Every structure is written in structure tokens, then in C-alpha cells.
Amino acid sequence: MAKQTWKPGNMVYPLPAVMVSCADKEGNTNIITIAWTGTICTNPAMLYISVRPERYSYGMIKESGEFVVNLTTEALAQATDYCGVRSGRDVDKWKETGLTRGESNELMYAPIIEECPVNIECKVTEVKELGSHAMFMAEVVSVQVSDEYINETGKFCLNETGLMAYSHGEYRSLGKQIGTFGYSVKKRKK
């Protein structure tokens, strides 16, 4: 297989496309779409988001020290895109997208997005200014999940929510299951 060499860049795809809801201490709220997010640690539960300092949400998160990562679905693709290409300085993204502000369990300022199947409430523990972006490292302080995806045994069926991802400029559905964790080494029944 022939290869081309390109200049250094981030080509780790697909990524989660999440809507991050945030607020300042005066009660102004916003939604920003983020693809640069991920797990940092399991115990304590921690994640990060990376935000450009010129973004409207950057100052809100820095001031309040909190945000909510709201997982997105195929049904929320248009709202997710809109919240990534419009600035909260210019428009009320809640109003324009029809998304509903909900109450956080543990945060003082940042709301959840009711339409999202998972809302991950986070408190910032550290901010790393890294150049084009600042990385907000945060502890997960609460997680809310939609009842409609909890089956009769009490299992949360996350993969039935229609989660979407962002890959090289495109929003993509996740597609069919091709295996489960550990399936490559699982002993086969005879």
C-alpha cells in the first residue's frame, strides 16, 4: 500500500461530537459543539474538553469552573452543527435550536440539555493553555441518563440512542456492532 507524507496534524478520527453547555456566574448560558474531548481517568472519573480562547464559552467555563458534556444523537445532528458554527455572542442557541435547558444535579451554573440521552456534569480541576486551544480537565460529579433507554433489567442501552460521531469534517452514525470488548480472546463454546 502506497503512502503519502503530510505535514503534522491531528488525524485521530472518529471523535465524539458533543454539545457542551456552560454558564457564567451572572446566569448567561451557552452551548458549544466540541469534538476534542475524551476520558482522562476512571477513578476519579475525569474527562477533558479543548476550547479555543476566542470562543464565547471559553470565558464562561473559565469563570464558573464547570460545564456539562451532553452526548449527541443522529436526531440532534442539525442542532449539534448549529451550535458549532454560530457564536453565542450573536445568537441564543437555545432558542434557535429549540433545545431545552435542564437542571444539573451537582453544578451551580451550567445547565444540561434535556434532549440529550446522557448529560455528564463536570467541575474543572485544571486548565492547560496549549496554544490554539486550552484543555479544561474536569472531574465528573454527576451523570444523568434518559429513562427511555433503560431496559427491563435496568441496563442503560447507550448504543440504542443513535449516537453520532465527527470524522474529518462529517457527522457520521456509528453503524452496526462488529464485536464486544474481549471478543477476540473469548473462549468459544463447543
Task: Answer yes or no: pTM beyond 0.85.
Answer: yes
What does the pLDDT read at residue 189? 74
What does the pLDDT read at residue 9? 84
Domain annotation for the chain: domains and CATH numbers: 15-173 (2.30.110.10)
What does the pLDDT read at residue 137? 98
What does the pLDDT read at residue 11? 83
Backbone angles phi, psi at 164, to 5 degrees: -125, 165
> What residues pair up with 136 in beta bridges, in sequence order?
49, 127
- Alpha-carbon distance of 69 to 75, in angstroms, equals 17
What does the pLDDT read at residue 134? 97
- Alpha-carbon distance of 52 to 42, in angstroms, equals 26
What does the pLDDT read at residue 12? 87
10-residue stretch averages of pLDDT, the chain, 190 residues long: 89 93 97 96 97 97 98 97 97 98 98 98 98 97 97 95 94 90 83
Classify residue 111 as exposed, middle or buried by CB count within 10 Å of its CB (0-12, 13-18, 19+): buried
